[in-house]
Amino acid sequence: MADDVVALDALDGTVAPVFDGDPRVVRLSLSAGEERPRHSHPDRVVVCHVVEGRLDLRLDGDPLEVGAGELVRFDGAREVAPRALDDTRAVLVLAATS
């Protein structure tokens, strides 16, 4: 495996893959008020690190606010519908459960 370094600012799009392979790593970039549709990541554990801004993850419909510098881990089988409370950048790691 090669040592890879990626600048988050160099990635394009709302959801941008950071690295290939497993675990899956993506950068999420949302403007204040922007949201992603409700979805899940079966057979994954998700770690979300908010790099800047504030995010309401809405796990299974319940609000969960995560701010800059905070991390949250949750079972990917749960429904998540992230909404940015401020302009937000986050890194998500989706690791296989088995």
pLDDT in tens, the chain (98 residues): 568 899 988 899 999 999 888 999 999 999 999 999 999 999 999 999 999 999 999 999 999 999 999 999 999 999 999 999 999 999 999 999 97
Q: What is the pLDDT of residue 35?
A: 96
| Fold assignment, 8-96 | Jelly Rolls (2.60.120)
HSE-up (13 A, CA, CB side) for residue 2: 6
Strands in the chain per DSSP E: 15-19, 24-30, 44-52, 54-56, 65-67, 71-75, 83-84, 88-96
* pTM score over 0.95: no
Q: What is the pLDDT of residue 1?
A: 53
Q: What is the pLDDT of residue 23?
A: 94
